[in-house]
Amino acid sequence: MADYSIWVCEYSYVAKYHKSGVIYGAHNQGYVKLPYCYVVIKGKGHTIMVDVGYNNKEYGKHLGDKFAVENWRSPRDVLAKVGVKPEDVDHCFITHCHFDHFGNVEDFPNATFYVQEREISKWVWAMSLPDRMRWMMTAVDPGDIVRGVALARDRRLVTVDGARENVLPGIDLHVAYDSHTYGSMWVKVRNDGKPNSDDTWVLAGDLVYVFDNLKGAGPAVDLDDIYLPVGLAVGSQTNLVLATEEMLSHVDYEVRRVIPVHEERLRDAFPSHVAEDGLRITEICLADGEETRIKA
């Protein structure tokens, strides 16, 4: 039995991203492709997003251009590939407030948004700091934070303080404080609905970028099974390593069940389809009775 379908939907990408941004300490090791993606979860009468991408206008576009993002597509175009419209989405779980994860809130008019309280409140704090401290805002669009606060005004924002079980049936929220960001959140899907699930998936946000963060990048034998944290931490790489351990412990250390959405090699690990626009849909799992969205 599977309650939910899960798709990772690519909406743009950086063709050449410094590997040192993906893996801490990987200096002078060239570049990798970095897909920009969000996740659709569908089942139990709900259509859910994990993150919502960026809006490609005003300061969001400035940041996209700054990071050399290519081939941006709107949520309406991307979600159509899995049979979903933005208006169908009723819940959005925001893993963190970087521009490429929290920039399209206006495209989901019927959704309630969830974010860690520390995540959004600390970005408000960071926005108030003197310009000489603006490094902390490197990947943040202040307009996104303002729009998030407006969601609270409209009673469409839920701020979460730590872990929360069964925010929807079989879906739990967890937090990794002071890691990639101040309150990065990861999403656990117990796809059989059991408290001690035999079919658990972890959607990691940016706590991991690629498979190498989870199990080492070699070539030395002693690196094959160690965690290599991501390059960007507003908090610390130590906390990223601790978060990786916690996420893997929830899936009995089955690495393939922790999903790094920026990982290009998801296409090799799960059924995937690259559309005519050059963007990929990856099908992590299907709910009972759900049809595949992957074309032969």
Tens digits of residue pLDDT in 232-291:
999 999 999 999 999 999 999 999 999 999 999 999 999 999 999 999 999 999 999 999
Tokens, residue 191: 């796809």
Q: Residue 267 burial by CB count (10 A; 0-12/13-18/19+): exposed, middle or buried?
A: middle
* pLDDT > 70: percent of the chain: 97
pLDDT of residue 228: 94
Instruction: Give the Cα separation of 198 and 217 in Å (integer).
Output: 28
Using 50, 70 and 90 to split pLDDT, how confident is the model at 187?
very high
For residue 87, the SS3 value is: helix
Provide the 8-state DSSP code for 162.
Answer: S
**Mean pLDDT in residue range 27-44:** 96
Tokens, residue 210: 């690629």
Note the CATH number of domain 5-172+257-285. Answer: 3.60.15.10
Using 50, 70 and 90 to split pLDDT, how confident is the model at 218?
low
Q: Find the distance separating the first CA and the last CA of the chain, reported in whole Å.
A: 24
Q: Which of left, alpha, beta for 284 (phi over 0: left; psi -120 to 50: alpha)?
A: alpha
pLDDT of residue 217: 65
| Residue from 251, 268, 135 nearest 200 by CA | 251
Please report, for the chain, how many H helices and E strands are present, in that order: 9, 14
**Mean pLDDT in residue range 5-26:** 96
Instruction: Give the Cα separation of 78 and 10 in Å (integer).
Output: 8
Amino acid at 174: H
The whole-model pTM stands at: 0.96
Q: CA angle 267-86-264, nearest 5°?
A: 15
| Residue from 23, 53, 55, 26 nearest 39 by CA | 53
Using 50, 70 and 90 to split pLDDT, how confident is the model at 185?
very high
> Do 173 and 167 contact (CB within 8 A), yes or no?
yes
Kind and range of the H or E run holding 188: strand 183-190
Amino acid at 180: H
pLDDT at 216 over 80: no
| Residue from 5, 2, 74 nearest 291 by CA | 5
Q: Residue 133 burial by CB count (10 A; 0-12/13-18/19+): exposed, middle or buried?
A: exposed
Domain parsing of the chain, residue ranges: 5-172+257-285
* pLDDT > 90: percent of the chain: 95
> Do 256 and 3 contact (CB within 8 A), yes or no?
no
pLDDT at 51 over 90: yes
pLDDT at 224 over 90: no
